[in-house]
Chain A
Amino acid sequence: MTLGPHLLLALLEGTVGGLVLALTALGLSLVFGVMRIVNVAHGEFFMLGAIVAWYVSTTAGSFLVALLVAPLVVGAVAVTADRLVLRRIGYEPESTIVATIGLLYILQQVVLMTYGPYARPVAAPVYFRIDFPWFGYSGYKLIVAGAAGALLVLTWVALSRTTLGLYMRATQQDREMAQAFAVPVDRVYTTAFAVGAGLTAVAGALIVPVQQAHYLMGLDALLMSFVVVILGGLGSLRGTLVAAFVVGLSDGVVSVLFSPTLAKIVATLLVGLVLAVRGRGLFGEEGA
């Protein structure tokens, strides 16, 4: 294959990867921004989204229903975890890390015990193959990219235009001041945690027809989300989006043109470099 088509494939892979990654990482960034906690179980919400999508689409026979149910179920799991665990330890940063590590293992093992160790596929709701002269590409992947993009815009609008978005931004800026202005901080916390989990669950559900649902799939999602969130600046949603694109595109281009291992090296190096030169990340706030 010559350079032109090679580059086209690289850009396609990069764009799809970047958009899905942005949606996955957005939840982690939101939770950190609003609640100031690091959710290590974030990747498991991604995995749960995929598993629920498999269950629903095989029993109800409709992937679209699965796409709606997955974030609701996972959001409910997140609310339960928030009420039963995080709230009880007062959202204390170190304790929440340990608690969410525990949550990670509980979710993973429960899925292994019930759903099993298999990687199970779901038929894509619309499937067509785009036949370029040099290679073919899955049409569904482009739909995934479009859906992820639309959800990102929707989240952006919700955060900047609705009262809930205003509450979240207020809590993020100054929790005590927000409380003094009658923002129901407790409820905002729970909502942020549920919305964060729900967003990543949608990403997980969208990816099932491409990647299959498997109980260990959350680990990679978690790792890449951390890379993106650290690179973009903890708590900055704009940073998360930009970083997801940088990582996604560089991953696509470097892995197609050179090697996938080199792409991972580049991403990790980028994180190291940003941390060394600009500790708060590309768009991080001062003192964050």
Chain B
Amino acid sequence: MSESGHETANVSRRNFLRTGGVLALGASLPGPWTARAAAQGGAGPLRLGFQVHRTGIGAVYGRWYDRTTAAAVKLINEKGGIAGRPVEIVAEDDGTDPKRGAEVVEKFATQHKVDFIFGTLFSHVVIASAPRAGELKIPYIVVSEGYHVASGRLNRYVFQPGITDVRAQVTAVAPWILKNLGNKVTLIFPDYAFGHDHRDFFSRVATGQGGAIRALIPIPPTETAFTKYFPRVPADTDVLYHVMVGPGVLTFVKEMGEHFGTKRPQIFGFVDSLEGVDLASPGLEFLEGTYFWEAFPRYTAAGAPAHVRSYRERVGVNDSGASVNDPKDVSTFSHMFGCWETLFVIKRAVEQSGYKKPGPADYKAFVETLEGFQSFAEGAEHPQGPKKFVGRLHQVFGQQVISKVDKRRFTVVHRTAIEDSMYPPEADYTKQPL
């Protein structure tokens, strides 16, 4: 016992010396430290902390967020960077885990000392990370889709300028569903914040316009088998509204097909149910003739504008929305453009606000400039379409697309106007102190 104790003391002293030596050596070498010191002065690269789902159930989205971000940064740097400074991405995996998400925000602010944090998707991660960003007073710009930003429940440092929120999407497509597919709707949704936004806002908009909600079927986010949920769809349902996320999506759609067969109600889904999934996958025959919401059409239509084609080319996506290197590697096309557009919004806000380095004064200028934005024109920087930005909500609004599955492809049948998606604002972040 005493012998082993002695040994431990020896080892730890040796380790201590070795660690000290390494540290001393490291400090004397020019390394990331010097680069960071240069950046702190407003020279050198602009460092963006990229919070990304590299592992966990969001990993498919994370992979494509990663690729889109890399492509956008490459373009920005080719054109001279942001305010003349090259952009550097510092990526950290949040594991699609809320606790880890908050830790990553902390790490970006205190350890990496980045200029801004942006990136992540899953609503539970964003909701857990946002308060820490608010406490650290560092802008946190998400590409998350949930209503949590516009609802006012986050804080003044959180923005969503690159992707529209669920409430806006639902508000825009609900009238079309009621008019074209039927009035009695049953909703199937994941049982957490993102799904609850669908439940609450679709129900509210639909009942306000003469529709009836026949049943609400929540599904736990880790579920892998779905057959057992379908008996709860009432027989007189006109429209089955589904939105699912995570690795079980394909099983969900297949089992829905097996259950209903040809006697199916009309089906309207959010493309989240099929992001990263090849429409030609076995078992998806059943989706033929059903409808989907898309943000950005996955399949290139004839006559698509040049900026859409060049966006696809730069991100490495073919005309069917899959990777140019591997046609089986299908993208999350209706979400990842948000990273691209967000980066260009950051660029514009940095350049207009005269932002130089992290600190209360420069962040104040950045936040207030961003809040003052009103619209983004369609083009190379905003390939998905034109946008309106509502500063008090910290939220962007855009066009929504409804597509029909036709010969195992999505074909656009309707495009809403930006105004169709706008709702009376509930929050005003600009009144919060900085």
* 8 Å CB interface, B242-265 against A: 247-251, 254-255, 258-261
Contact of B258 among A116, A123, A136, A212 (CB under 8 A): A136
Could you count the A-B residue pairs with CB atoms below 8 Å apart for me: how many are there? 91
Given the interface contacts A118-B276, A211-B225, does A6 sit within 8 Å of B231 by beta carbon?
yes
Which residues on A sit within 8 Å (CB–CB) of B62? 117
> In chain A, what residue has the closest Cβ to B226?
A260
Known: A122-B282, A136-B261. Contact between A220 and B222, CB under 8 A?
Answer: yes
- CB of A174 within 8 Å of the partner chain: no
User: How far does the Cβ of A115 sit from chain B's closest Cβ, in whole Å?
Assistant: 11
Q: Flag if B228 contacts A255 (CB, 8 Å).
A: yes
Are B228 and A212 touching (Cβ within 8 A)? no
**In this complex, what residue of B is CB-closest to A108?**
B55
**Chain A nearest CB: distance from B229 CB in Å?**
7
Residues of the B chain whose Cβ atoms lie less than 8 Å from the Cβ of A129: 258, 261
The reply to whether the CB of A216 lies closer than 8 angstroms to some CB of chain B is yes
Docked-complex contact B282 and A135, CB < 8 angstroms: no
Asked if B228 contacts A13 (CB within 8 A), the reply is yes
Structural contact, A119 and B248, CB atoms closer than 8 A: yes
- Number of B residues with CB within 8 Å of any CB on chain A: 38
A95-109 interface mask toward B, CB cutoff 8 Å, 1 = contact, 0 = none?
000000000000001
* Chain A residues closer than 8 Å to B60, beta-carbon distance: 117-119
Given A1-B235, A217-B247 in contact, is the A211-B282 Cβ separation under 8 Å?
no
> Are A9 and B231 within 8 A (Cβ)?
yes
Tell whether B310 is near chain A: CB-to-CB under 8 Å. Answer: no
Within the complex, the shortest CB–CB distance from B336 to chain A, in Å, comes to 14
Is B16 at the interface (CB under 8 A from chain A)? no
B283, A214: Cβ atoms closer than 8 Å: no
Nearest CB on A from B281, distance (A)? 5
Query: CB-CB < 8 A to A13: which residues of B?
Result: 225, 227-228
Q: Which residues of chain A have C-beta atoms less than 8 A from B281's C-beta?
A: 121
Q: From the candidates B251, B260, B329, name the one contacting A211 in the complex (CB within 8 A).
A: B251
Instruction: Assess whether B41 is interfacial by the CB under 8 Å rule.
Output: no
Whether the pair B283, A121 counts as a contact (CB closer than 8 A) is yes
Contact at B224–A220, with CB atoms within 8 Å?
yes
Query: Is B329 within 8 A of A119, CB to CB?
Result: no
Do the beta carbons of A252 and B228 come within 8 Å of each other?
yes
Tell me whether A156 is interfacial, beta carbon within 8 Å. no
- Interchain nearest-CB distance for B68 vs A (Å): 15
Nearest neighbor of A112 in chain B, beta-carbon distance: B55
| Those of B262-285 within 8 Å (CB) of chain A | 276-277, 281-283
- Which chain B residues lie closer than 8 Å to A131 at the CB level? 261
State which of A117, A212, A252, A256 has its C-beta within 8 Å of the C-beta of B250. A212
Query: Which B residues, 315 to 349, have Cβ-Cβ distances below 8 Å to chain A?
Result: 328-330
B223 CB–A CB distance under 8 Å:
yes
Cα–Cα, bound, A137→B329 (Å) = 30
Bound together, the chains give a CA A216 to CA B247 distance in angstroms of 9
Cα-based distance from A253 to B177 in the complex (angstroms): 34
Residues of A within 8 A of B254 (CB): 121, 210
Q: Chain A contacts of B227 at CB under 8 A?
A: 9, 13, 137
Residue on A with the closest CB to B326?
A116
Chain A nearest CB from B256 CB (Å) reads 10
Contact yes or no, A124 B282, CB < 8 A: yes
Q: Decide if A138 touches B247 in the complex (CB within 8 Å).
A: no
The residue of chain B having its C-beta at the shortest distance from the C-beta of A215 within the complex is B59
* A261 within 8 Å of B (CB atoms): yes
CB under 8 Å from chain B, chain A span 183-223 = 209-212, 214-217, 220
Taken together as a complex, chains A and B put the C-alpha atoms of A212 and B282 apart, in Å, by 11
A residues lining the B interface (CB < 8 Å): 1, 6, 9-10, 13, 17, 109, 112, 116-124, 127, 129, 131, 135-138, 209-212, 214-217, 220, 252, 255-256, 260-261
Interface pairs (9), CB distance under 8 Å: A9-B231, A117-B62, A118-B330, A123-B283, A129-B261, A135-B230, A138-B255, A212-B250, A216-B56
List 4 A-B pairs, minimum CB-CB distance, nearest first: A117-B59, A123-B282, A119-B247, A214-B247
